[in-house]
Structure 1
Amino acid sequence: MSLFRVCSWWSAQCPDTLQSYHAQNITVCRFGLQENEKDYIVVTSTLGYLSIFYPAKSTTGGRTSSDLVLELKLSSPILGVAAGNFGSLTKGNANQSQLAVLHPLGLSIYSLLHTNGMSEHGSQSVLQLTAKNVLPKWSFSICTGHFGGVKEKEFICVTHLDGSLTFFEQDGIHYNCILSGETSMPLPVIYDSSSDAFLRVNSYWELESFKYQDVSESEPSSAVNPSWTLCIGELPIQIQTVRVNR
């Protein structure tokens, strides 16, 4: 007996039939292109496919042809995708959200442009590349947030396979950071806005927290120490932060 009931409201088939997907390959966002805008669903794959869906209510209960806004294949594998207000990192509109697409050795930021046509099928959407950065080493995951408590701007943090971090902040400023302790497992680093800190898991299966202030003020050759450590005793598949009302 199950305590939950699952209803299938909408579904879509992505172009990558080999199922080259993981948790970092999907995000839900609003681009701010129109009033009363609803959520877009962005799905990417490690084969380089990128699809943007805009689900709408259908009389048949399934997907319609207009739900697919854009679908393309990039030249490099996509390891992760995130959406946010990255206007300070690019020349894009500061009032609209952009897409940050992570490749093995690069980070690209795109803006979604939409042109209305005379009919529903006449509308066109394209992705415009607004910034492209070459990474110094192989990447693994991406996280974004209002680092340092900045409300109107979002910054980007890229995690590399060796556990080091690369930050991309306003006006194109970027810097690298080395975290101390044991070598991290190949797991994403996430940002917790309530404590303004980054969380990761090391090879001892310990959850570590690093303050953004300590990370941003660190020297390139020195390692940053965690503010606290918690032994969780097992390898997590995914880490997320949630707000709980007490």
Structure 2
Amino acid sequence: MSLFQTHELWRSKNTSDEECGFGCLSVANIDNSTDGSDKVIVGSYHGVVHIYSPTPDLNHAHDVLLEVDLNLPILQIEAGRFISVSSDLHLAVLHPRILAIYKISVSEGAVDHGHQYSMSKLFQHPLERTAMNMATGCFGGAHDRDYICVQSIDGSLSLFESESFIFTRFLPGFLLPGPLVFNPRTDSFVTISSANFLESYSYQVLAVATDVDKKDEKQRVSTGKKILVDWSFNLGENGVDLQVVQINDKSNVIMVLGERSIFCMDEGGGLKFMLKLDYNVACFHAYSCNGAVVTLVCTHSQQLLVYDVTKLRWAARLGEVPVQILRGNFNNTPGILVTLSDTCSARCTYLGTSPSMFMVPRSKDREVDADDLQLQISKLVPITHDITQGWEEMVEASMTSLLKMFGENVGESVLKFPENTKKLKKRIYAVIDKINKGGKI
């Protein structure tokens, strides 16, 4: 249990019974505002997109910038430069059978009515296979725009460049889809196979490989090159999430979240360090700070753990179990933690040193009347002062006084004193002797 707890800066207010999961949260300056402040973007399995601008005032009405019902389940949302003729950020929404790109526009309001936000679809790509997740980045060495790679549930990778479809490739030895990320330094995709291997595939290898329309036709195609893995690493456990972290201008690391471990890999597939976990992890987020990797880990026991490389630096109570955690810049304050629960409730929190004010309530049965207690003590003190014998005689005198006192208050008929008090005293001595010898009553 943590001594400290996180401080809630802002929370979204949801009145509907929406549900969401990992990939349904994004933090970016999606409206391309001049102040550079990030927005919280949430997509739900019910097909609703929520865009918030957090402010210190909890549940402020102006925090909700936009809510749009797309009428299709949302699997994942990402912000990026997906338009070839524009460097602005746009929103990519992945549905089971559709990949759509949206533009968030802002219209100046009149007088004190504020700004008006709208969400317009620029284009969409129909998917031949049911999608699982997607990865974005500058594929093929591009610098001014982002491409999108969609992984389907049958192991195909479909790549899209703005309005154009590029190609589809099938990963070798595929059984179940896993996490997928893109490493821009090596221009490669990193995923986790169903055999619990961390594998890296070069974009150039995928581009020149055989292009097939159907998975069962792959063995009959004689042209093109076979897809070969650049490197692989045996994790030994199921992989939950992947993330590429830029340490400096010359190196990146790949953070892998397993069921019971966290792996830090270099770009060539070598293990840099590993953390063994003795708790159930809900989600994690890694970033670089002063050339070191800082990892935020959320557990199913509502704890937030902050690791500096392999050392635990901080622990705080979250108050809920999030499905995803990110960092954002709000109101010129960088490093705000953004968490998303499975009920589509987004929170902005920060770490603090205020202790948890939770206290165990005192039972009513333990309440003691101070006046009555003082009266009992005043009656026992003279008796103990007059006794010069050992502790047995003192106990006997004290018990006799207590029995007389309670007999006067409740009556002897209620207490039912035994006629032979010697047996009672003998029993009391036996109990005391047993306690002194370390026994239990």
Asked if TM exceeds 0.5, the reply is: yes
Against the structure 1 CA distance between its residues 52 and 216, is the aligned structure 2 distance closer, same or farther, given a 3 Å change threshold?
same
Q: 2:118 aligns with which of 126, 137, 142?
A: 126
TM-score, with length taken from structure 1: 0.89
Q: Are residue 36 (structure 1) and residue 35 (structure 2) matched?
A: yes
Q: Aligned-pair distance for 1:226?
A: 1.0
Q: 2:75 aligns with which of 79, 84, 88?
A: 79
Q: Aligned-pair distance for 1:158?
A: 0.5
Aligned residue runs from structure 1 range 168-207, under 5 A: 168-170=160-162, 172-183=164-175, 185-207=176-198
Q: Which moved more, 1:93-102 or 1:119-128?
A: 119-128
Distance 2:193 2:233 in 1: 10
Distance 1:107 1:182 in 2: 23
SS in 2 for 1:239: strand
Question: Who is 2:210 aligned against?
Answer: 219
TM-score, with length taken from structure 2: 0.51
Q: 2:246 aligns with which of 240, 243, 246?
A: 243
Q: Is the 8 A contact 2:101 2:122 kept in 1?
A: yes
Against the structure 1 CA distance between its residues 3 and 219, is the aligned structure 2 distance closer, same or farther, given a 3 Å change threshold?
farther
Question: Who is 2:237 aligned against?
Answer: 234
Query: Greater share of helix residues, 1 or 2?
Result: 2
| Residues 105-158 of structure 1: CA deviation (Å, up to 9, x unaligned) | 111100001101124534211101100111011111111111122111100010
Aligned residue runs from structure 1 range 59-208, under 5 A: 62-88=58-84, 94-170=86-162, 172-183=164-175, 185-208=176-199
Given residue 36 of structure 1, which amino acid in structure 2 is its aligned partner?
A: D
SS in 2 for 1:242: strand
Given residue 77 of structure 2, which amino acid in structure 1 is its aligned partner?
A: V
Question: Who is 2:264 aligned against?
Answer: none
Distance 2:17 2:75 in 1: 17
Q: Aligned-pair distance for 1:75?
A: 1.4
Against the structure 1 CA distance between its residues 192 and 74, is the aligned structure 2 distance closer, same or farther, given a 3 Å change threshold?
same
Distance 1:129 1:169 in 2: 16
Distance 1:50 1:230 in 2: 37
Against the structure 1 CA distance between its residues 111 and 186, is the aligned structure 2 distance closer, same or farther, given a 3 Å change threshold?
same
The share of aligned pairs that are identical, in percent, is: 29
SS in 2 for 1:10: strand
How many aligned positions are there? 237
Distance 2:210 2:47 in 1: 35
Distance 1:137 1:166 in 2: 9
Q: Is the 8 A contact 1:179 1:225 kept in 2?
A: no
Q: Aligned-pair distance for 1:6?
A: 1.8
Distance 2:25 2:113 in 1: 26
Q: Aligned-pair distance for 1:74?
A: 1.1
Q: Are residue 53 (structure 1) and residue 49 (structure 2) matched?
A: no
Against the structure 1 CA distance between its residues 122 and 170, is the aligned structure 2 distance closer, same or farther, given a 3 Å change threshold?
closer
Against the structure 1 CA distance between its residues 179 and 41, is the aligned structure 2 distance closer, same or farther, given a 3 Å change threshold?
same
Distance 1:108 1:120 in 2: 34
Q: Aligned-pair distance for 1:171?
A: 5.1
Question: Who is 1:7 aligned against?
Answer: 7
Distance 2:163 2:71 in 1: 27
Against the structure 1 CA distance between its residues 163 and 10, is the aligned structure 2 distance closer, same or farther, given a 3 Å change threshold?
same
SS in 2 for 1:224: coil
Q: Aligned-pair distance for 1:4?
A: 6.5
SS in 1 for 2:8: coil
Q: Aligned-pair distance for 1:241?
A: 1.6
Given residue 238 of structure 1, which amino acid in structure 2 is its aligned partner?
A: D
Structure 1 runs (4+) greater than 6 angstroms displaced: none
| Residues 168-227 of structure 1: CA deviation (Å, up to 9, x unaligned) | 0145242111111242x3323111123221111111111111011111222213652210
Q: Is the 8 A contact 2:41 2:52 kept in 1?
A: yes
SS in 1 for 2:168: strand
